[in-house]
Amino acid sequence: MVPLGRPEDFTNEWSYTALSRARDPVHVHLTAERADRSDRREIAPSPRERTAQEAINAMRAAMGRREREDLAIDQVAPRGRARVPGEAAAEANERAQRQQLALDLDGPAVTERVPEVLRALRGPEPLRAIEDRVGLDVSGREAIEGARQALTDLPRKALAERAERLHELATTFPHHRVEAARRADQLSRIREEQRDAHENVGRHLARLDHLGPLSRVFGRADRAFTEQALANWTERAQESDEQVAELARRVDADRQERAAWFDEHGEEFIEFSAAKVELHTRDRQARERRINDIRRDPPTWVTERVGPRPDDPAAREPWDRAAAHLDDYRHAFGLPPDNEQPSRSDYRQRHAWEDVHKAATEALKMHPERPLVERPAPQLDHDIGLGL
């Protein structure tokens, strides 16, 4: 089957009928020309032809435009009308086919953003603790990324074994990066104080030279003030000199220890870090695949809580977020959340439970079809946790 037409011709009803009935692959041919304006060429210039992407975008917009009107009985009381047997199943099937057509039309050129991980289950970045302990510069990050790309075919078990050895290796690092950075910052600050103190010593020595020997007789007050200030700044300069000398030795030792450690363990550190990053990348990609599968074919444990995935883009975002949170909870705790709050002692699961049901409530509120779900979210108590 090969439909041909302008993008505006593919309205919701026409495209659904034409594109969902064929048994063989369907190839759609779009014309780039816009609506006929031949009767206005004398008073207005013809617009330029669309690009291929503009034609596809116009078709996508047309597929969301409905030409039919709802029956009066549907407009007045859609919930009160008794459904004909099989009507609900037919509507669900039609909705799924329309949604699949939209997903197929989007294709690889349109990427829908995957919602973030459920807040209560969101873990730190894979190398966060290692960066705090050891520290990574730009070259180190590039080396880890290069090593990670060489591990893409390694089995997960082997990756996990290497990633587990990273923490043990990091404990052999001779000092804590944060403490070493604090010493380096302190050295920089004291060196500024040192320069300021020596400049003031020089300024007051010049002032005494300017006053001259006669100031001991005719300018004693001014000379006494300058001599006292000189003594104070000289003492501060000596203290700064001692602090700088001590800190400089420690900062230099930090640098030498770091260089020696990387000379001995640098290759292992890069390899183990790359394994940990690769594991994190695989987990993120697996989650994205699960959520995209849910979008294409929502399972019962999702639809019974938030209904079918809506066609309206504005309503899809909260639906996608609720579905992703349901999947996060199910993946973390083995089962989707029920209507009974988890134990107060498990704060992580309890907070995740609350966030999932809040997202489900918001998704149902934004859903244009206002579906009657089988397992509605419970009414959350806003005072949860106050009695702990």
Question: CA 83, CA 80: separation in Å to the nearest integer?
Answer: 9
Report the 10 Å Cβ neighbour count for 203: 13
Contact 26, 3 (CB under 8 A): yes
Tokens of 166: 């990273």
Each residue of 98-114: pLDDT tens digit?
555 554 554 443 457 89
Report the 10 Å Cβ neighbour count for 71: 10
Terminal C-alpha separation, the chain:
65
Instruction: Kindly give, in sequence order, each residue whose CB lies less than 8 Å from that of residue 6, ignoring residues fewer than 6 positions away.
Output: 30, 31, 33, 34, 35
Q: Is the pLDDT of residue 186 over 90?
A: yes
Is the pTM for the entire model greater than 0.75? no
Least Cα distance to 280 among 112, 122, 118 occurs for 122
Q: How far is CA 97 from CA 91, 111, 155, 160, 314, in A?
A: 10, 20, 38, 41, 20
Q: Is the pLDDT of residue 2 over 70?
A: no
Each residue of 328-368: pLDDT tens digit?
999 999 999 988 888 777 889 999 999 999 999 999 999 99
Q: Is the pLDDT of residue 31 over 80?
A: no
Q: What is the mean pLDDT of residues 129-158?
A: 89
Q: Is the pLDDT of residue 63 over 90?
A: no
Whole-number pLDDT of residue 211: 85
What would the DSSP string read from start to end of 321-381?
A: HHHHHHHHHHHHHSS---SSPPPTT-HHHHHHHHHHHHHHHHHHHH-TT----SSPPP---
pLDDT band at 77 (very low <50, low <70, confident <90, very high): very low
